[in-house]
Structure 1
């Protein structure tokens, strides 16, 4: 999966260079990059925050507070 990210980053850099070469102002290209990178970084941070709950689950299980299925009709 990491290789795919490198390829996508290379395509993005190539598109930025092509846009500047075609006459787009560098400031506009950098501003567009910031607007595109911001949501990607936010998603990455959110994914890394909740990716692993095993330590918490182990502590809860040690105290005997394991939760069952949610809802009245859960079987």
Structure 2
């Protein structure tokens, strides 16, 4: 600590360097979280689209089955 007391400009430069490195590290970590969040959001959107497509397919099959049942009932 005596060294820094004798050289306050070095201490100030060291504090500035630590602050800069801390800011860069924070930016990198934030960017990583944001990128992961984007991937998670895209995966959720793909899953929602898949579920919607499956639901539409089931609804279409049900509709066709319902129409076939109605037609066969009319034929009897």
TM over 0.5: no
More helix by share: 2
User: Normalization by structure 1: what TM-score?
Assistant: 0.43
Structure possessing the higher relative contact order (Cα contacts under 8 Å, 6 or more residues apart) = 1
Tell me which structure has the larger Cα radius of gyration.
2
User: Normalization by structure 2: what TM-score?
Assistant: 0.42
